[in-house]
């Protein structure tokens, strides 16, 4: 019903990456789409340019006009005034992932899941399918410059979607092909512990037709005999699709691809790090199960461009400035290792903005060793997202953990402005500056890149 042409759909929290993409696809299917969000953003501006009526702020009078369904993200509080108005008017309220499940019905769907790497892998799969001449639909959790956006309604029966496990609703999806990159401890406001996270991912795999498992991850490897007809990928010697002779070259990585122990070709991946090689193997594996020859998939990856905020280069002029969305220990560790491998001898200065009080309370000490490859670390205050502060929880525990586990020079910074002032006086020619975090830490490195280009700060 919600995906039918002619329906009017209102998206609460439409500026979110997943919501904006879903809105675009629904509009392409003929629905009349409106939406609301608290703040203006690049996504709300893009949606307006596409013809979507976007309201800033949450106004219950929006629901005065006839609406067939309200689509809502899990980040929206149940007491949101628009949701209250929808309940009062008996307008159906549909969770984003439930809407996605209905949308995927009838497609040969490829669902990409895992604790990290989902966005990049999804974009890689979409790139491959496009480059080999198919026209897939896709929904990806970030703006993808190489794809022209984060969503597209294609003409082929293939539909690639990033699958977010954060609220547990992903178990309503039953993709034709499931991809599982890795498993980590996260979203402990939804899951009791790591065991429950594992069980949810296993259920997800068992609801799929085929699966691609990245078996370099020890927990994913444990699913090999417990999931349907898995295709295994990785650098491990027993992987069905394997990468060997991995060679880092700054912003690209080269490797040899073998299938069933037989070499099929060389791959030039325009992304740094072994972690992106693993993402690429997942993408090649998913494309293979969808009917694409591995050699063709490997060659197609040369056209890949990293999504927004995934190792995004902001400045390269004596000082390298990069912004990255990584906000979990394993992601940060992998990215810093990629810098060490690709930019040998550079001083690495990392800025970290922890994301959410609940995450910091649950795994704060685990961030310590993740920064072992950094020379200097600036730890900023926690970005709360939608959470209220938790008494006694601050970024101090992360700073202390980094001091205890590494030889890095660690500075706890009180604000983004203070961090920017610190950097402008601290950095030296040849430094590699990288910001980490899922919040708004990117504004600091963006300002820094302007300072380096122009010798003055950009206008806010």
Catalytic residue annotation: 118-119, 162
CA-to-CA distance for 288 and 278, rounded, in angstroms? 15
Q: Rounded to whole angstroms, what are the CA distances from 273 to 33, 236, 280, 342, 366?
A: 40, 16, 11, 8, 21
**For residue 268, which phi and psi values (nearest 5 degrees)?**
-110, 105
> Tokens for 206?
């068992």
For the chain, the farthest-separated pair of C-alpha atoms sits apart, in whole angstroms, at: 63
CB 191 within 8 A of CB 197: yes
- What's CA 57's distance to the chain center, in Å? 26
Q: What share of residues in the chain are helix, strand, coil (percent, to 5)?
A: 35, 25, 40
- What's CA 91's distance to the chain center, in Å? 31
Residue 65: how many CA atoms within 13 Å on its side-chain side?
9
What is the rounded end-to-end Cα distance, in angstroms, of the chain?
43
DSSP structural state of residue 189: T
**For residue 17, which phi and psi values (nearest 5 degrees)?**
-60, -45
DSSP structural state of residue 238: T
> Tokens for 16?
């979110």
State how beta strands 312-316 and 409-412 pair. Answer: unpaired
Tokens 């596409």 found at: 50
CA-to-CA distance for 123 and 128, rounded, in angstroms? 9
What sign does the CA torsion over 386, 389, 393, 394 have? positive
Which H helix or E strand runs over 404? helix 396-405
């Amino acid at each position: 019903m919600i995906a039918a042409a002619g329906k009017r759909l209102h998206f609460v929290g439409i500026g979110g990456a997943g919501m904006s993409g879903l809105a675009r696809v629904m509009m392409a299917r003929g629905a009349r789409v409106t939406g609301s969000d608290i703040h203006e953003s690049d996504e709300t501006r893009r949606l307006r340019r596409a013809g979507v009526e976007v309201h800033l702020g949450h106004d219950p009078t929006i629901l005065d006009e006839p609406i067939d369904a309200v689509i809502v993200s899990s980040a929206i509080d149940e007491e949101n005034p628009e949701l209250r108005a929808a309940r009062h008017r008996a307008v159906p309220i549909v969770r984003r992932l439930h809407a996605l499940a209905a949308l995927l019905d009838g497609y040969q769907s490829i669902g990409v899941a895992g604790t990290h790497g989902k966005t990049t892998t999804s974009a890689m799969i979409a790139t491959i399918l496009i480059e080999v001449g198919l026209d897939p639909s896709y929904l990806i959790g970030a703006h993808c410059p190489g794809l022209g956006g984060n969503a597209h309604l294609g003409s082929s029966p293939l539909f690639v979607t990033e699958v977010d496990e954060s609220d547990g609703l992903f178990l309503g999806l039953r993709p034709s092909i499931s991809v599982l990159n890795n498993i980590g401890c996260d979203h402990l406001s939804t899951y009791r512990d790591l065991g429950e996270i594992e069980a949810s991912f296993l259920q997800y795999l068992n609801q799929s037709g085929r699966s691609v498992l990245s078996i370099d991850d020890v927990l994913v490897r444990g699913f090999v005999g417990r999931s349907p007809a898995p295709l295994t990928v990785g650098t491990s010697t027993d992987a069905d699709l394997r990468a060997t002779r991995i060679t880092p070259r700054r912003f690209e990585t080269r490797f040899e691809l073998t299938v069933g122990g037989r070499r099929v070709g060389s791959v030039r991946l325009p992304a740094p790090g072994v972690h992106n090689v693993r993402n690429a193997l997942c993408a090649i594996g998913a494309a293979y199960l969808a009917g694409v020859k591995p050699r063709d998939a490997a060659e197609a990856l040369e056209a890949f461009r990293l999504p927004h905020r995934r190792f995004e280069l902001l400045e390269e002029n004596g000082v390298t400035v990069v912004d990255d969305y990584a906000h979990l220990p394993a992601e940060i560790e992998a990215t810093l290792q990629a810098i060490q491998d690709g930019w040998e001898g550079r001083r690495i200065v990392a800025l970290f903005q922890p994301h959410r009080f609940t995450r910091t309370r649950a795994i704060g000490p685990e961030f310590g060793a993740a920064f072992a490859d950094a020379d200097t670390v600036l730890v900023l205050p926690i970005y709360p997202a939608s959470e209220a502060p938790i008494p006694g929880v601050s970024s101090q525990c992360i700073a202390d953990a980094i001091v205890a586990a590494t030889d890095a020079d660690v500075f706890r910074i009180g604000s983004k402005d203070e961090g920017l002032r610190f950097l402008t006086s601290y950095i030296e020619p040849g430094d590699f500056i990288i910001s980490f975090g899922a919040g708004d830490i990117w504004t600091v490195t963006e300002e820094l890149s302007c300072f380096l280009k122009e010798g003055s700060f950009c206008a806010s």
